[in-house]
Amino acid sequence: MAASRSSPFADLTGKRAVITGGSSGIGRAIALELARGGCDVIVHYGRSETAAQSVADEITAIGRRSAARQLAFPAGNYDEFVDSVWQIWGGVDIWVNNAGADLLTGSQAKLPYAEKLALLWQVDVAGTLQLCKAVLPRMKAAHGGVIINIGWDQADRGMEGDSAELFSAAKNAIMGFTRSFALTAAPEVRVNCIAPGWIQTAWGEHASQDWQDRVVRETPLRRWGLPEDIARLTRFLVSDDASYLTGQVINANGGAVR
């Protein structure tokens, strides 16, 4: 006979989290979902203070504590940022490295290939690695914590085009790092990586009909993923219900295999 549950599924009551890149898209969805699970959430932003504060206000309306804090990638001081957020509520239990360079929309989409590569490497790769290294000693000292990194499902199997080449290089680096860093972090701290597939963020909402058709064709579940799909998976992975999972790269892609 299965034991009865003493708490709700993926209960995060009393936990404190930091979400980098939390002002929009997947980061915003994660911040709100963790708050719905009972977590207090610090929303990191690079440039969008107004958007980040709006997310923090939504979290407060849910009934949890929240604050918006800035760190500029790649020029910011990672150790100082980690120190500053650690002091807000006397510690952090959950860290989600979601911040990444946007090379598909806005002015950065027009950068030369070499400049896009440098930006991705500085923001996605170096940012993730350096924040992980700054966070880990503090979590180990507190005898527990969870770190989530963000990869890309097609980085492992390949996709054509300049943007895909660049994202594959960056996200494969993060995914490989996660597997190794989890061994360094164990047993006190768990480290996992989510590799999203076609997620309907800003680019997906305005993609051409050809891209819309491609997403449906390549996804067995026949739809775009939503930021909320990634957020619910994150909530599970950072909860005690996932306490035996570490060093994993988990595809969240509607079953896509090519």
Lowest mean pLDDT among 42-46, 87-91, 118-122, 211-215: 211-215
What is the per-residue pLDDT for 145?
98
Instruction: Using pLDDT thresholds of 50, 70 and 90, give the confidence band for residue 103.
Output: confident
Radius of gyration, CA atoms only, the chain: 18
Q: Are 131 and 97 in contact (CB under 8 A)?
A: yes
What is the per-residue pLDDT for 200?
86
In this structure, which topology does domain 16-250 adopt according to CATH? Rossmann fold (3.40.50)
What is the per-residue pLDDT for 1?
41
What is the per-residue pLDDT for 6?
62
Instruction: Using pLDDT thresholds of 50, 70 and 90, give the confidence band for residue 2.
Output: very low
Instruction: Using pLDDT thresholds of 50, 70 and 90, give the confidence band for residue 66.
Output: very high
- Average pLDDT of the residues in 141-150: 98
State the greatest distance between any 2 C-alpha atoms of the chain, in Å, as a whole number.
61
Assess whether pLDDT exceeds 80 at residue 169. Answer: yes
Per residue in 10-60, pLDDT (tens digit) is: 999 999 999 999 999 999 999 999 999 999 999 999 988 999 999 999 999
Where is pLDDT greater, at 194 or 4?
194
CA distance 154 to 169: 11
Instruction: Using pLDDT thresholds of 50, 70 and 90, give the confidence band for residue 4.
Output: low
What is the per-residue pLDDT for 233?
98
CA distance 42 to 86: 10
> Hey, what's the torsion of the CAs at 33, 38, 40, 45, to 10 degrees?
0
Task: Show me where the domains of the chain are located.
Answer: 16-250
Distances (CA, A) of 212 to 45, 126, 209, 218, 222: 29, 32, 5, 10, 10
CA distance 165 to 152: 12
What is the per-residue pLDDT for 181?
98
- Rounded to the nearest integer, the mean pLDDT of the chain is 92
pTM of the model: 0.93
What is the per-residue pLDDT for 75?
74
CA distance 108 to 113: 10
Instruction: Using pLDDT thresholds of 50, 70 and 90, give the confidence band for residue 73.
Output: confident
HEC assignment per residue over the chain: CCCCCCCCCCCCCCCEEEECCCCCHHHHHHHHHHHHCCCEEEEEECCCHHHHHHHHHHHHHHCCCEEEEECCCCCCCHHHHHHHHHHHCCCCCEEEECCCCCCCCCHHHHCCHHHHHHHHHHHHHHHHHHHHHHHHHHHHHCCCEEEEEECCHHHCCCCCCHHHHHHHHHHHHHHHHHHHHHHHHCCCEEEEEEEECCECCHHHHCCCHHHHHHHHHHCCCCCCECHHHHHHHHHHHHCHHHCCCCCCEEEECCCCCC
CA distance 102 to 24: 12
Assess whether pLDDT exceeds 80 at residue 160. Answer: yes
- What's phi and psi for 37, nearest 5 deg? -80, -5
- Average pLDDT of the residues in 227-255: 97
